[in-house]
A and B are shown apart, each in its own frame.
Chain A
Amino acid sequence: MKIVVCVKQVPDTTEVRIDPATGTLIRDGVPSIINPDDRAALETALVLKDTTGATVAVLSMGPPQAEAVLREALAMGADEAILVSDRRFGGSDTWATSLTLASALRRLQADLVLCGRQAIDGDTAQVGPQVAEHLGLPLVSYVGSLRPEGDRHLIVKRMFEDGHHVLRVQMPCLLTILKDMNTPRYMSAPGIFEAFQRPITTWTLDDLDVDPSQIGLKGSPTRVKKSYTKGTKSAGKVYEVDPREGARIIVENLREKFII
């Protein structure tokens, strides 16, 4: 089985701040990480590698610095890494990104494509499903667990807020994976040193069969109309009281607001 995991390099939003004037992310000095849902997707692939001998490739589209997350993926145990990088891809929205990734995936010919559910910087959850659409692959999103059945099928659990579906899906297919599905392994020390001895394949627009008019900023139909930060509320009231009195005040306030 050949698995390709799509991973995105994102700013660690637990450390990100928003510029109150422009409403945009301040990315300076913020560490970059593998998007958490993608890391869970990679762990899912690596478990399949451990149990079935599958091979695992990781695919990322991004600037040259995105190489860092691919090295990390190799250090966790991925076999192969492909970076899709070209200035002409700059400014791509989910449509242009998914077309580009779909083209790279056509070259890679995977039995199973795993994406994270969504990226913590954009939060759209669109790229995985769009890639599946471009490739004509069956899609299951919000996957919570999976196991292979024979050579050609997977039994997957699709999670909902209040329940789940168990589905049988035929490969090749694309799944989007939830962060809480597993606890990703650490990189290993040998994996880290090996990761820097392995090549990272880099593809530019010229290596892919995408229409140049469909990519980058000009190929991106999405326009951000407005982005805003929720205004900070008033400081609130501070009571210097003992815990018993504190509990009483909280209950009283909740009652006043008809919350309880």
Chain B
Amino acid sequence: MTDHLDAPHQLLLQMLRDFVETEVRPKAKAVDEEERFPEETVRQMARYGLMGIPFPKEYGGAGGDNLAYTLAVEELSKACGTTGVILSAHTSLCAAPIYEHGTEAQKQKHLVPLAKGEKLGAFALTEPAAGTDAAGQQTTAERRGDTYVLNGSKIFITNAGYADTYIVMAMTDKAKGTRGISAFIVEKGTPGFRIGKKEEKMGIRGSATCELIFEEAAIPAENLLGKEGGGFGVAMKTLDGGRIGIAAQALGIAQGAIDATVAYVKERKQFGKPLSAFQNTQFQLADMQVRTDAARLLVYRAARRKDARLPYSVEAAAAKLFASETAMEVTTKAVQLHGGYGYTREYPVERMMRDAKITEIYEGTSEVQRMVVSAAMLR
């Protein structure tokens, strides 16, 4: 399945597999059970240039591309869905919009430390009353002199608390609807900005998901990202890119569950033979792998289109829709093939099944992806 990758991507894959086996897989169980944010892994990822893969060297990046970034999220997620989403939210949702919409000064100040991994990034669009209907933003940003003053709150923000840099959407002009939304770069430590409640979750439990609270939080006007009123466009484009990352996370979780299952069914014996000798097992595994391979092709297609600067938003939606539903189906079957053992914490597949579910929800639910795909068909 990776034969079609060129030599640099093959070599990256070799590096990622080494890295994941030593640094990520041994910690995945504890990260989940203790709801522990894997800070030391993130530091190691920074050391090896994994926090800025698709950005040019002059901005502190690795000089790679979106396909390479996709491979990284996929490989990390094979062993640990938490680590996969930390990289995805950081890269796609925080560093990428600064790279794509930021001024040169904003890139130097904010993108360079993010791409080097000296800082961690997050993205805040969702609010209690604005989930799927993201246009219903209540958080406001009022221009006062050289500052914008933010008031309101965000929920479900990945990397919150550990992140240094936040892309925050807020209403600069409520009368204008989506055209009144603007995007801002908000730094940790800004007076009036604090982290609220941390969610207790079903899966990706090591990833921090928290509320953000803004009370008269004044940020420099130069931290406006893009044009005033252009924030909704920034957010939607950012999510297009982010969906490639989440699709890669889903893909990794699915493949990780398949790999664990293949090993298990060769070992476990019932009725005097290994489970792998039953035709049902064989056929289930074939279906799981073929579906995952199909998802992989969709994910790589979206990444390659982004790299080629072709429109990719429909392809990203299709990739995320199919990869996330594949992850859910494949991990459920993986638990089934493990029998009672798969339902226990002794084996990783129950964690993978819990981790898979979120990929159908965040960065646009599966329903939203169906809207994007069908809207393009019916245009």
- CB 8 Å contact bits of A50-80 with B (1 = contact, 0 = none): 0000000000000000000001100100000
Nearest residue (CB) in B for A191 is B49
Knowing A191-B49, A193-B62, A194-B63 touch, does A186 contact B18 (C-beta < 8 A)? Answer: yes
A193→B15 contact, CB < 8 A:
no
Q: B49 to chain A: which residues have CB within 8 Å?
A: 188-191
Of B7, B18, B50, the contact of A189 (CB 8 Å cutoff):
B50
- Give the interface centre of B49, B61, B68 by most chain A CB atoms within 10 Å: B49
B57→A189 contact, CB < 8 A:
no
Of B11, B14, B62, the contact of A190 (CB 8 Å cutoff):
B62
- Give the interface centre of A71, A190, A195 by most chain B CB atoms within 10 Å: A190
Which applies to chain A's interface (DSSP): helix, strand, loop or mixed? helix
A75 to B12, CA, bound (A): 9
B48 interface hit (Cβ, 8 Å): yes
A196→B7 contact, CB < 8 A:
yes
A195 to B68, CA, bound (A): 15
Nearest residue (CB) in A for B64 is A193
B15→A192 contact, CB < 8 A:
yes
Q: A196 to chain B: which residues have CB within 8 Å?
A: 7-8
A187 interface hit (Cβ, 8 Å): yes
A194 to B18, CA, bound (A): 19
Knowing A193-B8, A196-B7, A196-B8 touch, does A187 contact B63 (C-beta < 8 A)? Answer: no
B19 interface hit (Cβ, 8 Å): yes
Q: How far is the CB of B74 from chain A (nearest CB, A)?
A: 14
A189 to B61, CA, bound (A): 9
Interface residue count for A (Cβ, 8 Å)? 14
B57→A192 contact, CB < 8 A:
no
B64→A189 contact, CB < 8 A:
yes
B210 interface hit (Cβ, 8 Å): no
Of A71, A186, A193, A194, the contact of B48 (CB 8 Å cutoff):
A186
B11→A189 contact, CB < 8 A:
no
B18→A72 contact, CB < 8 A:
no
B288 interface hit (Cβ, 8 Å): no
Q: B18 to chain A: which residues have CB within 8 Å?
A: 186
B19→A195 contact, CB < 8 A:
no
- Give the interface centre of A192, A193, A194 by most chain B CB atoms within 10 Å: A192
- Residues A69-108 near B (CB distance < 8 A): 71-72, 75
A187 to B14, CA, bound (A): 9
B53 interface hit (Cβ, 8 Å): yes
Q: How far is the CB of A134 from chain B (nearest CB, A)?
A: 33
Q: A186 to chain B: which residues have CB within 8 Å?
A: 15, 18-19, 48
- Residues B1-40 near A (CB distance < 8 A): 7-8, 11-12, 14-15, 18-19
A54 to B203, CA, bound (A): 47
Q: B61 to chain A: which residues have CB within 8 Å?
A: 190
Q: How far is the CB of A1 from chain B (nearest CB, A)?
A: 24
B63→A193 contact, CB < 8 A:
yes
- CB 8 Å contact bits of B46-65 with A (1 = contact, 0 = none): 01111001000100011110
B15→A71 contact, CB < 8 A:
no
Q: How far is the CB of A240 from chain B (nearest CB, A)?
A: 14
- Residues A149-174 near B (CB distance < 8 A): none
A195 to B12, CA, bound (A): 11
Knowing A186-B48, A189-B48, A194-B63 touch, does A75 contact B11 (C-beta < 8 A)? Answer: yes
Nearest residue (CB) in B for A33 is B14
A187→B57 contact, CB < 8 A:
no
B19→A192 contact, CB < 8 A:
no
A195→B11 contact, CB < 8 A:
yes
A191 to B15, CA, bound (A): 11
A188 to B11, CA, bound (A): 10
Q: B48 to chain A: which residues have CB within 8 Å?
A: 186-189
Q: How far is the CB of B170 from chain A (nearest CB, A)?
A: 34
- CB 8 Å contact bits of A219-258 with B (1 = contact, 0 = none): 0000000000000000000000000000000000000000
Q: A191 to chain B: which residues have CB within 8 Å?
A: 49
Q: How far is the CB of B261 from chain A (nearest CB, A)?
A: 23
Report A's interface with B, CB cutoff 8 A.
71-72, 75, 186-196
Report B's interface with A, CB cutoff 8 A.
7-8, 11-12, 14-15, 18-19, 47-50, 53, 57, 61-64, 68, 72
A-B contact pairs, 21 of them (CB 8 A): A186-B15, A186-B18, A188-B15, A189-B15, A189-B49, A189-B50, A189-B53, A189-B62, A189-B64, A189-B68, A190-B49, A190-B57, A190-B61, A191-B49, A192-B8, A192-B11, A192-B15, A193-B8, A193-B68, A195-B8, A196-B7
Beyond A189-B53, A193-B8, 4 additional pairs, beta carbon < 8 A: A186-B18, A187-B48, A189-B49, A193-B63
Q: 9 closest A-B pairs (Cβ-Cβ)?
A: A189-B49, A189-B62, A190-B62, A187-B15, A190-B49, A188-B49, A193-B63, A188-B48, A196-B8
